[in-house]
Chain A
Amino acid sequence: MRKLLNWLNVRDYADAKQRSATNIVGRYARGNVSIQNGWFLDRSGLDALSASGDRAIASLKKHQSA
Chain B
Amino acid sequence: MLDSLHAHSVLLSKICEEWNKAEADIKLAEQVCDQVVIPSIMELRYAGRRLMQAMEKIARGDGAGEADALLQDACFDCHRARHDAIDAATAQISVTLKEAVIRLKHEAVLQSFPKYSALMHALQTVRTNIVVSRASQEKREALYEVVEGSHFPDLVNLFREFQTSEATMVAIAGRQRRERFLNRFALVVAVIGLLVTVYFECRPKSDQNDLHTTATTQQAASTAPPSPPLSSLPVRPSAVPRATTARSP
Tell me whether A35 and B38 are in contact (CB under 8 A): yes
A8 x B174 contact (CB < 8 A): yes
The contact string, 1 if C-beta is below 8 Å from chain A, for chain B 164-183, is: 00000010011001100100
Looking at chain A, what size class is its interface with the partner chain?
20 to 34
Q: How large is the interface on B (under 10, 10 to 19, 20 to 34, 35 or more residues)?
A: 20 to 34
Identity of the chain A residue whose Cβ is nearest the Cβ of B92 in the assembled complex = A24
Residues in B with CB closer than 8 Å to A32 are 39, 42
Q: Is the CB of B103 within 8 A of A29?
A: no
Contact for B178 among A8, A12, A21, A42, CB less than 8 A: A8
CA A32 – CA B39 in complex, angstroms?
A: 9
Please measure, in the bound complex, the distance between the C-alpha atom of A17 and the C-alpha atom of B163, giving whole angstroms: 12
Of A17, A28, A43, which contacts B88 at CB under 8 A?
A28
Q: List the interface of chain A (C-beta within 8 A of B).
A: 7-10, 12-13, 16-17, 20-22, 24-25, 27-30, 32, 35, 40, 42-43
Q: In the complex, given contacts A20-B95, A24-B92, what are 13 additional A-B residue pairs having Cβ atoms less than 8 angstroms apart?
A: A7-B177, A10-B177, A13-B103, A20-B96, A24-B91, A25-B35, A25-B38, A25-B39, A25-B88, A28-B84, A28-B87, A28-B88, A42-B34
